[in-house]
Amino acid sequence: MSTNASPADPLATLGALPGVAESVDSVRKAVDRVYGHRVMRRRSGEITSEAALRGARGSAALSGADWALEEVRRRTDFSGEPEARTVGSALRLAAEAGQLLSIWRQSPLRVLARLHLVAAGGAADDASVGRPRLTGEKVDEPLIEAPLPDADEVAGRLDGLAGLIIEGSSAPALVSAAVVHGELLALRPFVSCNGLIARTAERIVLIGSGLDPKAICPAEVGHAEQGRAAYAAAFEGYLSGTPEGMTAWIAHCGRSVELGVRESTAVCEALQRGAA
Protein backbone atom coordinates (compact mmCIF):
# COMPACT_ATOMS: atom_id res chain seq x y z
CA MET A 1 0.00 0.00 0.00
CA SER A 2 1.64 3.20 -1.20
CA THR A 3 -0.36 6.26 -0.23
CA ASN A 4 2.10 9.11 0.48
CA ALA A 5 0.09 9.49 3.68
CA SER A 6 1.18 10.79 7.03
CA PRO A 7 2.09 7.98 9.44
CA ALA A 8 -0.49 9.21 11.93
CA ASP A 9 -3.56 8.11 9.96
CA PRO A 10 -2.85 7.03 6.39
CA LEU A 11 -6.41 5.80 5.89
CA ALA A 12 -7.78 9.24 6.70
CA THR A 13 -5.40 10.70 4.13
CA LEU A 14 -6.90 8.38 1.53
CA GLY A 15 -10.35 9.56 2.57
CA ALA A 16 -9.31 13.10 1.66
CA LEU A 17 -8.35 12.23 -1.93
CA PRO A 18 -10.32 14.07 -4.62
CA GLY A 19 -13.39 12.06 -5.56
CA VAL A 20 -13.40 9.77 -2.54
CA ALA A 21 -15.82 11.93 -0.57
CA GLU A 22 -18.36 11.61 -3.37
CA SER A 23 -18.16 7.83 -3.25
CA VAL A 24 -18.47 7.82 0.53
CA ASP A 25 -21.51 10.11 0.42
CA SER A 26 -23.21 8.09 -2.29
CA VAL A 27 -22.73 4.86 -0.34
CA ARG A 28 -23.98 6.40 2.88
CA LYS A 29 -27.17 7.63 1.21
CA ALA A 30 -27.80 4.26 -0.42
CA VAL A 31 -27.32 2.39 2.85
CA ASP A 32 -29.59 4.81 4.70
CA ARG A 33 -32.34 4.24 2.13
CA VAL A 34 -32.42 0.47 2.50
CA TYR A 35 -32.23 0.71 6.29
CA GLY A 36 -35.26 2.99 6.14
CA HIS A 37 -37.32 0.49 4.16
CA ARG A 38 -40.50 -0.44 6.01
CA VAL A 39 -39.76 -4.19 5.70
CA MET A 40 -36.56 -3.70 7.71
CA ARG A 41 -38.60 -2.84 10.79
CA ARG A 42 -40.17 -6.28 10.92
CA ARG A 43 -38.09 -8.71 8.89
CA SER A 44 -34.50 -7.55 9.05
CA GLY A 45 -33.30 -11.02 10.01
CA GLU A 46 -34.59 -12.43 6.74
CA ILE A 47 -32.85 -9.69 4.78
CA THR A 48 -29.60 -10.41 6.61
CA SER A 49 -29.80 -14.13 5.83
CA GLU A 50 -30.58 -13.49 2.18
CA ALA A 51 -27.79 -10.93 1.88
CA ALA A 52 -25.30 -13.45 3.27
CA LEU A 53 -26.40 -16.08 0.76
CA ARG A 54 -26.26 -13.69 -2.19
CA GLY A 55 -22.96 -12.24 -1.05
CA ALA A 56 -21.44 -15.71 -0.83
CA ARG A 57 -22.69 -16.53 -4.31
CA GLY A 58 -21.14 -13.33 -5.66
CA SER A 59 -17.80 -13.91 -3.98
CA ALA A 60 -17.66 -17.48 -5.25
CA ALA A 61 -18.44 -16.26 -8.77
CA LEU A 62 -15.38 -13.99 -8.67
CA SER A 63 -13.30 -16.99 -7.61
CA GLY A 64 -14.45 -19.00 -10.61
CA ALA A 65 -17.62 -20.71 -9.36
CA ASP A 66 -20.39 -18.69 -11.00
CA TRP A 67 -23.44 -20.66 -9.93
CA ALA A 68 -27.06 -19.58 -10.17
CA LEU A 69 -28.48 -18.37 -6.88
CA GLU A 70 -31.08 -21.13 -6.77
CA GLU A 71 -28.38 -23.77 -7.21
CA VAL A 72 -26.48 -22.31 -4.26
CA ARG A 73 -29.70 -22.28 -2.25
CA ARG A 74 -30.65 -25.84 -3.18
CA ARG A 75 -27.30 -27.57 -2.87
CA THR A 76 -26.35 -29.28 0.39
CA ASP A 77 -23.12 -31.07 -0.56
CA PHE A 78 -20.15 -28.85 -1.39
CA SER A 79 -17.42 -31.44 -1.01
CA GLY A 80 -17.11 -32.56 -4.61
CA GLU A 81 -15.62 -30.75 -7.58
CA PRO A 82 -13.50 -27.59 -7.19
CA GLU A 83 -16.37 -25.21 -7.99
CA ALA A 84 -18.55 -26.82 -5.33
CA ARG A 85 -15.75 -26.48 -2.79
CA THR A 86 -15.36 -22.81 -3.69
CA VAL A 87 -19.07 -22.16 -3.15
CA GLY A 88 -18.96 -24.08 0.11
CA SER A 89 -16.00 -22.00 1.29
CA ALA A 90 -17.82 -18.77 0.45
CA LEU A 91 -20.92 -19.89 2.34
CA ARG A 92 -18.92 -20.87 5.42
CA LEU A 93 -17.10 -17.55 5.39
CA ALA A 94 -20.37 -15.62 5.14
CA ALA A 95 -21.69 -17.50 8.16
CA GLU A 96 -18.48 -16.99 10.14
CA ALA A 97 -18.02 -13.26 9.49
CA GLY A 98 -20.58 -12.12 12.03
CA GLN A 99 -18.99 -14.23 14.75
CA LEU A 100 -15.65 -12.47 14.45
CA LEU A 101 -16.62 -8.82 14.73
CA SER A 102 -15.60 -8.43 18.37
CA ILE A 103 -12.17 -9.96 17.71
CA TRP A 104 -11.34 -8.04 14.54
CA ARG A 105 -10.36 -4.72 16.11
CA GLN A 106 -8.21 -6.38 18.77
CA SER A 107 -6.61 -9.18 16.75
CA PRO A 108 -7.16 -8.96 12.99
CA LEU A 109 -4.42 -11.48 12.21
CA ARG A 110 -6.16 -14.02 14.40
CA VAL A 111 -9.36 -13.39 12.48
CA LEU A 112 -7.62 -13.83 9.14
CA ALA A 113 -6.14 -17.13 10.29
CA ARG A 114 -9.58 -18.26 11.38
CA LEU A 115 -11.07 -17.25 8.04
CA HIS A 116 -8.51 -19.34 6.20
CA LEU A 117 -9.23 -22.32 8.43
CA VAL A 118 -12.96 -21.94 7.76
CA ALA A 119 -12.49 -21.44 4.03
CA ALA A 120 -10.23 -24.48 3.78
CA GLY A 121 -12.82 -26.62 5.50
CA GLY A 122 -10.94 -27.17 8.74
CA ALA A 123 -8.24 -29.36 7.22
CA ALA A 124 -6.25 -29.69 10.42
CA ASP A 125 -3.83 -32.16 8.83
CA ASP A 126 -2.66 -29.52 6.33
CA ALA A 127 0.15 -27.52 7.90
CA SER A 128 -0.45 -24.59 5.53
CA VAL A 129 -4.01 -23.96 6.76
CA GLY A 130 -4.61 -21.09 9.16
CA ARG A 131 -1.25 -19.36 8.83
CA PRO A 132 0.47 -17.07 6.31
CA ARG A 133 2.33 -18.88 3.55
CA LEU A 134 6.01 -19.68 3.87
CA THR A 135 8.80 -19.14 1.36
CA GLY A 136 8.41 -21.52 -1.55
CA GLU A 137 4.75 -22.35 -0.97
CA LYS A 138 2.58 -21.92 -4.05
CA VAL A 139 -0.57 -19.81 -4.10
CA ASP A 140 -3.80 -20.82 -5.82
CA GLU A 141 -5.68 -17.63 -6.71
CA PRO A 142 -7.28 -17.85 -10.17
CA LEU A 143 -8.30 -14.22 -10.69
CA ILE A 144 -5.35 -12.14 -9.48
CA GLU A 145 -2.26 -12.35 -11.67
CA ALA A 146 -0.21 -9.56 -10.10
CA PRO A 147 3.33 -10.35 -8.92
CA LEU A 148 3.31 -12.25 -5.65
CA PRO A 149 5.10 -10.64 -2.69
CA ASP A 150 7.55 -12.94 -0.94
CA ALA A 151 6.80 -14.38 2.48
CA ASP A 152 8.89 -11.81 4.37
CA GLU A 153 7.13 -8.92 2.68
CA VAL A 154 3.77 -10.53 3.40
CA ALA A 155 4.60 -10.83 7.09
CA GLY A 156 5.71 -7.20 7.34
CA ARG A 157 2.74 -5.79 5.47
CA LEU A 158 0.27 -7.94 7.41
CA ASP A 159 1.72 -6.55 10.63
CA GLY A 160 1.36 -3.04 9.21
CA LEU A 161 -2.24 -3.64 8.21
CA ALA A 162 -3.04 -5.12 11.61
CA GLY A 163 -1.51 -2.07 13.27
CA LEU A 164 -3.73 0.27 11.29
CA ILE A 165 -6.82 -1.70 12.27
CA ILE A 166 -5.93 -1.91 15.95
CA GLU A 167 -5.00 1.77 16.20
CA GLY A 168 -8.24 2.81 14.50
CA SER A 169 -8.80 5.57 12.02
CA SER A 170 -11.04 8.53 11.39
CA ALA A 171 -11.38 7.39 7.77
CA PRO A 172 -14.85 6.52 6.46
CA ALA A 173 -15.79 2.85 6.64
CA LEU A 174 -15.76 2.53 2.86
CA VAL A 175 -12.12 3.63 2.70
CA SER A 176 -11.00 1.27 5.47
CA ALA A 177 -12.90 -1.64 3.94
CA ALA A 178 -11.48 -0.98 0.48
CA VAL A 179 -7.90 -0.84 1.80
CA VAL A 180 -8.28 -4.06 3.81
CA HIS A 181 -9.76 -5.77 0.75
CA GLY A 182 -7.09 -4.43 -1.61
CA GLU A 183 -4.15 -5.16 0.66
CA LEU A 184 -5.20 -8.77 1.22
CA LEU A 185 -5.62 -9.26 -2.52
CA ALA A 186 -2.20 -7.75 -3.10
CA LEU A 187 -0.52 -9.94 -0.49
CA ARG A 188 -2.43 -13.19 -1.06
CA PRO A 189 -1.10 -14.25 2.35
CA PHE A 190 -2.44 -17.81 2.30
CA VAL A 191 -1.89 -20.70 -0.06
CA SER A 192 -5.57 -20.67 -1.06
CA CYS A 193 -8.90 -18.82 -0.80
CA ASN A 194 -7.30 -15.34 -0.68
CA GLY A 195 -9.96 -13.62 -2.79
CA LEU A 196 -12.76 -15.11 -0.71
CA ILE A 197 -11.01 -14.04 2.48
CA ALA A 198 -10.29 -10.52 1.22
CA ARG A 199 -13.94 -9.98 0.36
CA THR A 200 -15.05 -11.41 3.71
CA ALA A 201 -12.67 -9.06 5.52
CA GLU A 202 -14.17 -6.16 3.58
CA ARG A 203 -17.58 -7.32 4.78
CA ILE A 204 -16.38 -7.49 8.39
CA VAL A 205 -15.11 -3.90 8.23
CA LEU A 206 -18.35 -2.60 6.72
CA ILE A 207 -20.40 -4.33 9.42
CA GLY A 208 -18.12 -3.62 12.35
CA SER A 209 -17.71 0.04 11.45
CA GLY A 210 -21.42 0.65 11.89
CA LEU A 211 -22.02 1.47 8.24
CA ASP A 212 -23.92 -1.80 7.75
CA PRO A 213 -24.51 -3.19 11.25
CA LYS A 214 -27.21 -5.65 10.16
CA ALA A 215 -25.10 -6.99 7.27
CA ILE A 216 -27.70 -6.31 4.61
CA CYS A 217 -25.51 -4.57 2.00
CA PRO A 218 -23.44 -7.34 0.39
CA ALA A 219 -20.61 -5.69 -1.51
CA GLU A 220 -19.69 -9.11 -2.92
CA VAL A 221 -22.87 -8.97 -5.01
CA GLY A 222 -21.74 -5.70 -6.53
CA HIS A 223 -18.20 -6.88 -7.17
CA ALA A 224 -19.59 -9.85 -9.07
CA GLU A 225 -22.19 -7.81 -10.94
CA GLN A 226 -19.55 -5.41 -12.23
CA GLY A 227 -17.64 -8.43 -13.54
CA ARG A 228 -14.27 -10.05 -13.09
CA ALA A 229 -12.59 -7.82 -15.67
CA ALA A 230 -13.73 -4.61 -13.96
CA TYR A 231 -12.73 -6.02 -10.58
CA ALA A 232 -9.23 -6.86 -11.80
CA ALA A 233 -8.87 -3.49 -13.54
CA ALA A 234 -9.89 -1.56 -10.41
CA PHE A 235 -7.49 -3.66 -8.35
CA GLU A 236 -4.67 -2.59 -10.67
CA GLY A 237 -5.42 0.93 -9.47
CA TYR A 238 -4.90 -0.20 -5.89
CA LEU A 239 -1.63 -1.87 -6.81
CA SER A 240 -0.40 1.31 -8.48
CA GLY A 241 -0.55 3.18 -5.17
CA THR A 242 -1.23 6.43 -7.02
CA PRO A 243 -3.94 8.82 -5.83
CA GLU A 244 -5.88 8.20 -9.04
CA GLY A 245 -5.55 4.44 -8.76
CA MET A 246 -6.54 4.37 -5.10
CA THR A 247 -9.53 6.61 -5.81
CA ALA A 248 -10.64 4.29 -8.62
CA TRP A 249 -10.39 1.24 -6.35
CA ILE A 250 -12.33 2.91 -3.53
CA ALA A 251 -14.97 4.06 -6.03
CA HIS A 252 -15.26 0.51 -7.38
CA CYS A 253 -15.76 -0.82 -3.86
CA GLY A 254 -18.32 1.91 -3.18
CA ARG A 255 -20.27 1.04 -6.30
CA SER A 256 -20.21 -2.59 -5.21
CA VAL A 257 -21.82 -1.68 -1.89
CA GLU A 258 -24.46 0.33 -3.72
CA LEU A 259 -25.24 -2.63 -5.98
CA GLY A 260 -25.49 -4.80 -2.88
CA VAL A 261 -27.94 -2.28 -1.47
CA ARG A 262 -29.96 -2.51 -4.66
CA GLU A 263 -30.06 -6.30 -4.32
CA SER A 264 -31.32 -6.16 -0.74
CA THR A 265 -33.83 -3.45 -1.63
CA ALA A 266 -35.25 -5.82 -4.24
CA VAL A 267 -35.51 -8.52 -1.58
CA CYS A 268 -37.34 -6.07 0.68
CA GLU A 269 -39.76 -5.23 -2.11
CA ALA A 270 -40.39 -8.91 -2.83
CA LEU A 271 -41.09 -9.60 0.84
CA GLN A 272 -43.43 -6.63 0.94
CA ARG A 273 -45.37 -8.02 -2.00
CA GLY A 274 -45.48 -11.44 -0.38
CA ALA A 275 -43.50 -12.94 -3.24
CA ALA A 276 -40.53 -14.17 -1.20
Least confident of 1-5, 126-130, 200-204: 1-5
Reported as half-sphere exposure (CB side, CA atoms, 13 A), residue 266 has a value of 11
The pLDDT assigned to 163 comes to 95
DSSP letter (8 states) at residue 79: S
State percent of the chain over pLDDT 70.
95
Element (H, E) at 240: helix 228-240
Identity of the residue numbered 69: L
In terms of pLDDT, which residue wins out, 35 or 4? Answer: 35
Cα 129 to Cα 132: distance, rounded to the nearest angstrom? 8
* Distance between first and last Cα of the chain: 43
Element (H, E) at 159: helix 151-167
Report residue 54's pLDDT band, with 50, 70 and 90 as the boundaries. Answer: very high
Report the DSSP beta bridge partners of residue 192. Answer: 140
Cα 259 to Cα 27: distance, rounded to the nearest angstrom? 10
Q: Kindly report the length of the chain.
A: 276
pLDDT tens for residues 98-119?
A: 999 999 999 999 999 999 999 9
The answer, yes or no, to whether residue 5 has pLDDT greater than 60, is no
